[in-house]
Structure 1
């Protein structure tokens, strides 16, 4: 049995889809059984459990030989103390996975922000999550440090469609190691089944090439009939105000702005070279074609 936690998240669902497509027996975990139904209809076991419930998780991981885990959700806009929530999730997973009979492999979703010791905002918990998994004994642990998710551009698609312009705090000419979550899911599935072995405990993943937001917005414009689309950079204060207007708490608006500044000012960077081990195949243009249809 392979257990996939947070199976309704973008990456968790990609892991589950890849495993089901390959014919593996899996159990999917999530906070809403209804949202797990699509996997159950294809033969997966489904368990409703919160990611900060240590006892519920312990039961859900029973008889697992491999497990995919992550901190989810990665963002709670209204939170007033997100690090406290992350600590509860980390503790719950540490308890649930400790000394489980038959468990041989764990793949944990992390991100490139974990390479920066001073990471702030929603990504603060990534390194403590890795460190907690590292304390487990008798099990092979792989941390997948994924780059900048292509899914981050989904709001930009709607903004460009509506106005012809997208806005953000990251410089438009900054190369980003963009990656599709479907590719992360495929790598995770191969690691969970033993089809692939990571050469190191920490494996960074990034798409086939870096891409800038200027390039991304131009590609979006072409795809949605806005050929003159452009990207405009805003400052940190403007980003914070936009987040507050979108319903973020001041705590989460401050943290999300700080996290984005760490990318914009290159404190968060990839540390492993792009090569056959770290590169994934989906280009941004291919991703865009899939999501726009």
Structure 2
């Protein structure tokens, strides 16, 4: 049995889909059994759990030979103390996974922000999650550190469709290691099943090539038939104000802005080279073809 936590999240869903596609016996975890039904219809087991509840997690992982874990929700817009939520989730996973007889492999979703000791905002908990899982004995642990998710461009698609212009805090010419969530799911599935062995405990994943937001916006414009589409950089105060207007708490608006600024100013960056181990196949243009209809 392979257990996939947060199976209704973008990445958890990609992992579950990749495993089911190869006929693996899978148990999917999530906060809503109704949202897990699509996996049950394909032969998976389902368990309704909270990621900060060690008791229900322990029961759900009981007979797992491999487990995929991640901090979820990855963002709570109204939170006034998001690190406290992350600490509860990390502690719950550590307790739930400790000493399970059948468990041999764990794959965690971390991120390239874990490369930076001073990571702020929603990505603060990535390194602590890795460190907590590393204390488990008798189990092989691999932490995936993907770069900039191509799904981050989804709001840009809406902006370009509506106005022809996308906005963001990251410089237009900053090369980003863009990666599709589906590729992360495929790598995680291969590690969980043992079809792939990671050469290191932490594995960066960074797509086929770096891409700038100028290129991202141009590709979106081309796909939408808006060939004059352009990207405009905003400052941190403007980003924070827009998040507050969208309903974020001051704590979450400030943290999300700080996280993005760490990318913009290259404090969050890749360490491992792009090679056969770290590169994944989906191009941004292929990603767009899947999501734009």
TM-score (norm: length of structure 2): 1.00
The aligned residue for residue 125 of structure 2 is 125
- Structure 1 residue 280: Cα displacement: 0.1
The aligned residue for residue 45 of structure 1 is 45
Misfit runs of 4+, over 4 Å: none
Cα separation, 2, equivalents of 1:51 and 1:108: 13
Structure 2 residue runs of 5 or longer lacking an equivalent are none
The aligned residue for residue 267 of structure 1 is 267
The aligned residue for residue 70 of structure 1 is 70
The aligned residue for residue 80 of structure 1 is 80
For the aligned residues, what is the CA RMSD?
0.4
The aligned residue for residue 213 of structure 1 is 213
SS at match of 1:159: helix
Output one character per residue of 1:263-293: Cα deviation in whole Å (capped at 9) or x when no partner: 0000000000000000000000000000003
The aligned residue for residue 199 of structure 1 is 199
Cα separation, 2, equivalents of 1:21 and 1:85: 33
Output one character per residue of 1:165-210: Cα deviation in whole Å (capped at 9) or x when no partner: 0000000000000000000000000000000000000000010000
SS at match of 1:232: strand
The aligned residue for residue 3 of structure 2 is 3
- Structure 1 residue 238: Cα displacement: 0.3
The aligned residue for residue 283 of structure 2 is 283
Describe how 1:104-115 pairs up with structure 2 within 5 A: 104-115=104-115
Output one character per residue of 1:105-134: Cα deviation in whole Å (capped at 9) or x when no partner: 000000000000000000000000000000
Cα separation, 2, equivalents of 1:12 and 1:6: 5
TM-score (norm: length of structure 1): 1.00
SS at match of 1:107: strand
Matching of residue 23 in structure 1 with residue 48 in structure 2: no
SS at match of 2:110: strand
Cα separation, 2, equivalents of 1:62 and 1:166: 46
Cα separation, 1, equivalents of 2:187 and 2:29: 19
SS at match of 1:102: coil
Cα separation, 2, equivalents of 1:48 and 1:224: 39
Alignment coverage as a number of residue pairs: 293
Cα separation, 2, equivalents of 1:168 and 1:256: 12
The aligned residue for residue 258 of structure 2 is 258
SS at match of 1:127: helix
Cα separation, 1, equivalents of 2:28 and 2:131: 24
- Structure 1 residue 225: Cα displacement: 1.7
Matching of residue 240 in structure 1 with residue 245 in structure 2: no
Output one character per residue of 1:235-280: Cα deviation in whole Å (capped at 9) or x when no partner: 0000000000111000000000000000000000000000000000
The aligned residue for residue 227 of structure 1 is 227
Describe how 1:128-147 pairs up with structure 2 within 5 A: 128-147=128-147
